[in-house]
Amino acid sequence: MKKILFVSSEAHPLIKTGGLADVSGSLPKALAELSQDIHLIIPNYQTLNCQEEKRYLCSLRVNNCDVNILETRLPHTNVMVWLVDYAPFFDFAGNPYNDAKGNAWPNNAERFALFCRVAVEVAMDRANLNWKADVVHCNDWQAGLVPALLSLEEHRPATVFTIHNMAYQGLFPSNQFYSLNISRQLWNPNGLEFHHMLSLIKGGLVYSDRITTVSPTYALEIQTPDFGYGLEGLLRHRQDVLSGIMNGIDTDQWNPQTDPAIPQHYDAHHLEQKQANKIALQQRLSLPVNAKIPVFGLISRLVEQKGIDLILDCLPDMMGIPLQFVLLGSGNPSFEHRLQNFAHLYPDKMSVTLGYNEDLAHLIEAGSDIFLMPSRFEPCGLNQLYSQRYGTIPLVRQTGGLADSVEDALPESIAKGTATGISFHQASAGALLEAIKRAIVLFDHKDTWRYIQQNGMNKDFTWHNSAQQYLQLYNEI
């Protein structure tokens, strides 16, 4: 049994802004089920959705800050969560990283540096918890300082750093380095310095024993200039310790047979029952109720990564085709505005819900026929996995984890029984539109459609395999 400290800035259902939370809420649970002694550590944000009361465990003084460590349980699991409680940094409402306009909080470097320092104290058993980690598993730039700081320690635990998205690097002006009071040893171009800026993701990329990312294809892509954002050279240099492990999904939460957020449960053998969810979705969003028309769904952060601009460019053509399009998301105000304008122009064809809404997300997965993910890049992506589980055919751009998890419906893959979706290559509105038209043609071939739905529903997206791969990695180091 290994003692694993899992360091993340969000974990579902405690707090979530994106897929990192889904992973941090479900991988530790899967590792606990493999009999590992795993603890999750996250900041004690004001808006945590705890089910069990928080218990005070201890206090420690770190870099002149008096910090408490509290404990709660990750809801519906056996995983205990240590909460880093420092009110001046974490006790306020709202998003963990940005203000309502999407601007980063001005003290993010200080906030997450303190979080990392506390994680190091816990991992080294200097926090009076009587627990020393064998492995510290850090996620994204918010946890990047942990491997860097641990590299300065004797008898330190092994470290793994998982990249969920290379586009977010935790870059700050160089003078921040000095105000954070970090050892000078770490400040050099082979350390935390990146073109005279402080790069917190480099703490993970340079100093961890192993680097992983969330799909095999993305592990290759980030070693190229198009996806590496200037860090491709470093990643190529460390390719011997870099690997891609595909994310799993929490099949308790995403299960069309038991999902409490959908009106009609169904499985691969009773796909006709899925229709009731489509009708409920159309009713809820005030679209014409029509079981025959293909419904396209999209749930996403509305940012460039997700190909929202491609969707916007396609919309005039899409509105000329018999289909309905339902979108749930939030993000870039200009995308939000333009999408909403379209929905006002075509109230019978398109519905846009801005904001974050978990129940509606489940209903869209169950009620749509096709799920759109035209991402420009996608480290893993989770909605194409949820979609397959719900018999909703994903239409994706072939990149990152989308390429690894969706097999295009071509005559050969249909014949082999491996087709699970529709995919296209080029990041252009034309290519997306062609794929949408292919989907509509296929939708009319009811037997083939059902067959593809069933292929996806029968795939194993549980964490079991991937958690085993992480465990093997922990054992190797």
How far is residue 418's CA from residue 455's CA, in Å, rounded to a whole number? Answer: 7
The three-state secondary structure class of 30 is: helix
Q: Which of ligand ADP, ligand GLC, none binds 301 (CB below 5-8 Å, type-dependent)?
A: ligand ADP
Q: Which is nearer to ligand ADP, 176 or 387 (CB)?
A: 387
User: What's the order of all strands across the beta sheet hosting 55-62?
Assistant: 55-62, 65-73, 80-85, 37-43, 3-7, 135-139, 158-163, 210-213, 242-244
Q: How far is the CB of 373 from ligand ADP (least distance, A)?
A: 8
Q: Which is nearer to ligand GLC, 404 or 408 (CB)?
A: 404
The angle subtended at Cα 269 by Cα 264 and Cα 270, nearest 5°, is: 30
Say whether residue 380 binds ligand GLC (CB under 6 A): yes
Strand segments (E) across 77-150:
80-85, 135-139
How far is residue 321's CA from residue 409's CA, in Å, rounded to a whole number? Answer: 21
Site for ligand ADP in 307-336 (CB under 6 A): 328-330
Site for ligand ADP in 382-411 (CB under 6 A): 382-383
Neighbours of 185 (CB within 10 A): 11
Report which secondary-structure segment, H or E, holds 415.
helix 411-416
Q: Which residue is nearest to ligand ADP (CB)?
A: 19
Q: How many residues at the interface with ligand ADP, by CB under 6 A?
A: 18
Q: CB under 8 Å to 188, separation ≥6 — which residues?
A: none
How far is residue 409's CA from residue 292's CA, in Å, rounded to a whole number? Answer: 21
With beta carbons less than 8 A apart as the criterion, state whether 302 and 330 touch: yes
Q: How far is the CB of 396 from ligand GLC (least distance, A)?
A: 11
Q: Per-residue contact track with ligand ADP, 347 to 386, x per CB under 6 A?
A: ---------xxx--x------------------xxxx---
Q: How far is the CB of 164 from ligand ADP (least distance, A)?
A: 7
Say whether residue 203 binds ligand ADP (CB under 6 A): no
How far is residue 147's CA from residue 134's CA, in Å, rounded to a whole number? Answer: 13
Q: Per-residue contact track with ligand GLC, 10 to 29, x per CB under 6 A?
A: --------xxx--x------
The angle subtended at Cα 448 by Cα 373 and Cα 254, nearest 5°, is: 45
With beta carbons less than 8 A apart as the criterion, state whether 443 and 327 touch: no
Q: How far is the CB of 219 from ligand GLC (least distance, A)?
A: 12
Strand partners of residue 80? 39, 73
Q: How far is the CB of 329 from ligand ADP (least distance, A)?
A: 5
Q: Which of ligand GLC, ligand ADP, none binds 357 (CB below 5-8 Å, type-dependent)?
A: ligand ADP
Q: Per-residue contact track with ligand GLC, 234 to 273, x per CB under 6 A?
A: -------------x--------------------------
Q: Which is nearer to ligand ADP, 90 or 254 (CB)?
A: 254
Say whether residue 300 binds ligand ADP (CB under 6 A): yes
Q: Which is nearer to ligand GLC, 295 or 467 (CB)?
A: 467
With beta carbons less than 8 A apart as the criterion, state whether 273 and 264 touch: yes
Among 39, 164, 202, 349, binds ligand GLC (CB under 6 A): 164
Stretch of 148-156, 226-234, 376-384, 468-476 contacting ligand GLC, by CB under 6 A: 376-384
* Site for ligand GLC, rule CB under 6 A: 18-20, 23, 164-165, 214, 247, 378-382, 401
